[in-house]
């Protein structure tokens, strides 16, 4: 199997499984969360086996979904799951800020250096853009889950956050091309 296709499946498969089980179960989070956790952990394991290295971002996501999904099930309170995207996006923003400000290290460059070759100015601009985008996604998730129904939030999580991320990423191509080596 093509590595790009496998990466796509391991990145988005658990979310698709969650979405499918959620709707087939009559919009029941308690039924949809366990397959999401299991699929996420399997995806991390598959990524590790294929890449022969620990996939840090999927691993963090897997740990967080396991914790917050588990808390949602244990306390029978969906707020934990609703907050997961907020917390993940804030963690990513803090890691990028912390790396740049306190360690003088651009973690975005560290994660994507093999795929993207740019000068330091380009990496810094891209880093700050992603920080702002992660904070935007966190705030947007908070707005949606606090003001909308669960079904709207689930649809937003699948059909809102992903397209926004793809569009944002596409808008970074001119910056990458401008500063590429």
Instruction: Read off the pTM.
Output: 0.86
Assign 3-class secondary structure to 3-53: HHHHHHHHHHHHHHHHHHHHHHCCCCHHHHHHHHHHHHHHHHHHHHHHHCC
Q: What is the pLDDT of residue 121?
A: 95
Q: What gap in Å lies between CA 36 and CA 116, rounded to an integer?
A: 31
Q: What contacts 24+ positions apart, CB below 8 Å, involve 85-88?
A: 85/137, 85/138, 85/141, 85/157, 85/161, 86/138, 86/141, 86/142, 87/138, 88/60, 88/61, 88/64
Q: What is the pLDDT of residue 1?
A: 64
Ordered by start, the domain boundaries in the chain are 1-75, 78-181
Q: What gap in Å lies between CA 48 and CA 53, rounded to an integer?
A: 5
Q: 88, 177, 165: which is closest to 133 by C-alpha? A: 165
Q: What is the pLDDT of residue 4?
A: 74
CB 144 within 8 A of CB 98: no
Q: What is the pLDDT of residue 113?
A: 65
DSSP summary character for residue 118: B
Radius of gyration of the chain from Cα atoms? 17
Q: What gap in Å lies between CA 147 and CA 141, rounded to an integer?
A: 10
Both tokens assigned to 39: 């699929």
SS3 assignment, position 180: strand
Which residue ranges of the chain lie beneath pLDDT 50? none
């Amino acid at each position: 199997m093509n590595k790009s296709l496998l990466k796509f499946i391991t990145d988005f498969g658990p979310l698709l499984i969650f979405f499918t089980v959620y709707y087939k179960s009559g919009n029941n989070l308690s039924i949809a969360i366990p397959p999401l956790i299991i699929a996420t952990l399997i995806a991390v394991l598959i990524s590790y086996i294929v890449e022969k290295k620990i996939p840090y971002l999927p691993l963090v996501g897997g740990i967080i979904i396991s914790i917050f999904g588990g808390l949602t099930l244990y306390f029978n309170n969906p707020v934990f799951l609703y907050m997961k995207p907020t917390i993940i996006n804030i963690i990513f923003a803090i890691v990028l800020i912390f790396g740049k400000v306190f360690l003088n290290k651009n973690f975005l460059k560290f994660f994507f250096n093999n795929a993207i070759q740019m000068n330091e100015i380009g990496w810094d601009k891209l880093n700050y853009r992603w920080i702002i985008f992660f904070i935007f996604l966190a705030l947007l998730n908070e707005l949606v889950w606090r003001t909308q129904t669960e079904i709207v939030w689930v649809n937003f999580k699948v059909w809102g956050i992903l397209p926004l991320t793809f569009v944002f990423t596409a808008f970074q191509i001119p910056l990458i091309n401008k500063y590429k080596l």
